[in-house]
Amino acid sequence: MIATLVNAAAVIAGGIIGILFKKGIPERISDTVFKGLGLCTLFIGISGSLCGKNVIIVIISIVLGAIIGEGIDLDSKIYSLGELIEKKFNKVGGKKVSVAEGFVTSSLLFCVGAMTIVGSLQSGLTGDHSTIFTKSTLDFVAAIIFASTLGIGVLFSAVFVLVYQGAITLFAQWLSPVLSTAVIDEMSCAGYILIIALALNMIGITKLKVMNYVPAVFLPIAICPLADLIGSIL
């Protein structure tokens, strides 16, 4: 868990630095920078989504993931949590801060990539923390940039990193047999498609409930073996 703790600490440290920068940035510039980050996020999503090898698996994952996510209504629950924290901060600080948007946006960015899955497995199985340490450096820089525009909500994404990565690390012994290279590729592809959706929201083109699609990232774990079984029968 040491690597995950370092990663969470990196997000918090970067977020604090970003918040300090935010105080001196005019709102007009902050809005323009945020949309610029949206364009960069769009590039990351499009580039990463090319890792997928089977478009049918990704389509099924996104469709079923959307059905599950809408049924549970993950987006509303996460935003409600953010709004609850937001009220507490507004009460204490006396000025409006957006926690929910920063929390959701940064949590997705920090957790859906291949580095999270592969690095956490390496950390749990072999004690090799190098991938997560590299990711921690990248997340530190990203947290500075996003906190400077999105505010304190980015800090709370460290909790999401801790729980998500920590779970993969702790259960690596059980997860490794089902997380083949093919499964990780399709999980990453689904995740990067969510990054594209997130980027479109950031730019202002759409208002997608991205969190409701998150179950799609995990569905290839079940769909890939099933597809292989059907393929071998046919």
Binned at pLDDT 50, 70 and 90, residue 53 comes out as confident
CA distances from 125 to 7, 122, 133, 185, 191 (A): 18, 5, 16, 19, 23
Residue 23 forms part of a structural domain: yes
- Burial class of residue 44, CB neighbours in 10 A (0-12, 13-18, 19+): middle
Q: Within 10 A of 151 (CB to CB), how many other CB atoms are there?
A: 23
* 12: its two tokens: 């918090």
Binned at pLDDT 50, 70 and 90, residue 11 comes out as very high
Report the domain count for the chain.
Answer: 1
Give the CA count within 13 Å in the CB-facing half-sphere of 188.
23
d(CA 49, CA 51): 5
Residue 86 forms part of a structural domain: yes
Q: Which of 173, 158, 166 is nearest to 11 (CA)?
A: 158
Binned at pLDDT 50, 70 and 90, residue 16 comes out as very high
Helix then strand then coil, % of the chain, to nearest 5: 85, 0, 15
pLDDT higher for 200 or 103? 200
The number of angstroms, rounded, from the C-alpha of 200 to the middle of its chain's C-alpha atoms is: 15
Is the model's pLDDT at 143 over the cut of 80? Answer: yes
Q: What is the pLDDT of residues 107-140, one digit of tens each?
A: 888 887 777 877 888 888 778 888 889 889 888 9
pLDDT score recorded for residue 19: 86
Residue 87 forms part of a structural domain: yes
Binned at pLDDT 50, 70 and 90, residue 68 comes out as very high
What is the rounded average pLDDT of the residues 211-220?
89
* 89: its two tokens: 């901060």
Q: What is the pLDDT of residues 148-192, one digit of tens each?
A: 888 888 888 898 889 888 888 888 778 778 888 888 889 888 888
What percentage of the chain carries pLDDT values higher than 70?
Answer: 91
Q: What is the pTM of this model?
A: 0.78
Residue 213 forms part of a structural domain: yes
Alpha helices, H only, the chain: 2-22, 27-49, 55-72, 74-93, 100-111, 114-125, 130-150, 153-170, 172-175, 181-203, 220-233
Residue 171 forms part of a structural domain: yes
Residue 102 forms part of a structural domain: yes
d(CA 61, CA 222): 10
* 121: its two tokens: 């497995």
Q: What are phi and psi of 70, to 5 degrees?
A: -70, -35
Residue 71 forms part of a structural domain: yes
Binned at pLDDT 50, 70 and 90, residue 78 comes out as confident
Residue 152 belongs to domain spanning? 2-224
Residue 234 forms part of a structural domain: no
pLDDT higher for 12 or 23? 12
Give the CA count within 13 Å in the CB-facing half-sphere of 192.
22
Q: What is the pLDDT of residues 87-111, one digit of tens each?
A: 766 554 444 556 777 888 888 888 8
The number of angstroms, rounded, from the C-alpha of 197 to the middle of its chain's C-alpha atoms is: 12
CA distances from 215 to 14, 24, 85, 158 (A): 28, 38, 24, 20
What is the rounded average pLDDT of the residues 11-33?
81
